[in-house]
Homo-oligomer: A and B are copies of this chain.
Amino acid sequence: MQKLDIFNHIFPKPFYELMMKMAPGHEDIGKRVRGVPMLYDLDERFRVMDRFEDYQQILCLASPPIEALGEPDIAVQLARAANDGMAELIDKYPDRFPGFAASLPMNAPAALLEETRRAVDELGACGVQIFTNVNGKPLDAPETLPLFDLMAGYDRPIWLHPARRASHADYPTETKSKYEIWWTFGWPYETSAAMAHIVFAGLFDKHPNLKIITHHMGGMVPYFEGRVGPGWDQLGSRTSDEDLTGLLEKLEKRPLDYFKMFYADTATFGARAATECGLSFFGPERVLFASDSPFDPEKGPMYIRETIKVLDGLEMPDHVRADIYRNNALKLLRLNLNGA
């Protein structure tokens, strides 16, 4: 069965070199990247990919977010280099990489839409990858709202990747967190909080066709369906110093119904019960195969293998499995591929 892995990570070599040059103080990133060769070494990536039959990848840059690497002018140059690098790879290896999600300089509002247009119109990006906050600011800040309008206009997806933040009123603050809790639980929390901002800012009322792919099977939302559902139906009952009840009236639907409008990927690192829970929440037509490779203990193949094992083991008609593995993505990413 053909498989299109829509969320996995890469540093195209020219981008990686530029990042190391332009973003000094990020030597820690360099060190971590060098520990995971598949991130920058194409031959290693092909060796890992070849272990899996009929397996292709949509390319996304690895984190940290572009906007965390430097001031706006640096971010713009880095985003351009990242997108040029990924475009080069999909041109050169279309059978390996049928597409990519563009990286954006989210801290450079003046250049943001321009780079988006360049990536989609000129470089052939399938959509864009953004992070759950912009250097601490929520995604519904005035500077970044126009991106949602643009992407809804394109009818192309936004990949939503979690990002740690230093401090913000409704996100965890964990510059110096213990035990990497910021990663294990903080990232899905960030994803969930960002989803809430998108919902309560009314973005799905404004753009019912808005397509947002949430990493790691929708963050916390499916497991906490009860809190998002009847819990948030009581929005305002836990707040004394502000009247939040009007917010529910302003929205056209129940909060829960908007959360079901997101898309989600299967990157649960081999967690079968979680995958079932996520599938039950979003429905198989909104779930897309993804591995989050190469960030696993084996530095590449493990999460691909374990995710395939979970999906192959779930009881569902084969045409539904094929949708999750590839067809949902072809439709969402507007790809027209012939064969693998």
Interface residues, chain A, with chain B CB atoms under 8 Å away: 28, 31-32, 35, 138, 167, 169-189, 192-193, 196-197, 200, 216-217, 219-220, 222-241, 244, 247, 268-274, 276-277, 280-281, 296-297, 302-303, 306
Contacts and interface: CB of A to CB of B under 8 A. Distances in A.
11 contacts: A32-B237, A167-B173, A170-B181, A172-B172, A180-B238, A188-B224, A220-B220, A223-B277, A224-B268, A225-B273, A276-B277
Contacts of A225: 268-269, 271, 273-274
Contacts of A273: 222, 225, 276-277, 280-281
B189 A172 contact: yes
B184 A231 contact: yes
A169 B179 contact: no
A33 to B, nearest CB: 12
Q: What is the oligomeric copy number?
A: 2
Contact of A169 (B174, B217, B231, B234): B174
A163 B113 CA distance: 41
A179 B244 contact: yes
A226 B169 contact: no
Nearest to A184: B227
A176 B200 CA distance: 16
A183 B178 CA distance: 22
A269 B179 CA distance: 30
Contacts of A276: 273, 276-277
Most chain-B Cβ atoms within 10 A of its Cβ — which of A181, A216, A306? Answer: A181
B269 A226 contact: yes
A303 to B, nearest CB: 8
Given A225-B271, A226-B269, A230-B269, A170 B172 contact: yes
A176 B239 CA distance: 10
B269 A235 contact: no
Given A230-B296, A297-B233, A169 B180 contact: no
A180 B237 CA distance: 9
A277 B175 CA distance: 31
A228 B229 CA distance: 26
Given A179-B247, A185-B189, 10 more contacts: A35-B237, A170-B179, A170-B182, A180-B235, A180-B238, A180-B244, A185-B219, A187-B227, A224-B274, A225-B268
Contacts of A232: 180, 184
A250 B307 CA distance: 30
A23 to B, nearest CB: 15
Nearest to A182: B170
A177 B169 contact: yes
A136 to B, nearest CB: 12
Contact of A220 (B223, B268, B296): B223
Contacts of A271: 223-226, 229
Given A223-B220, A224-B188, A231 B270 contact: no
A280 B219 CA distance: 19
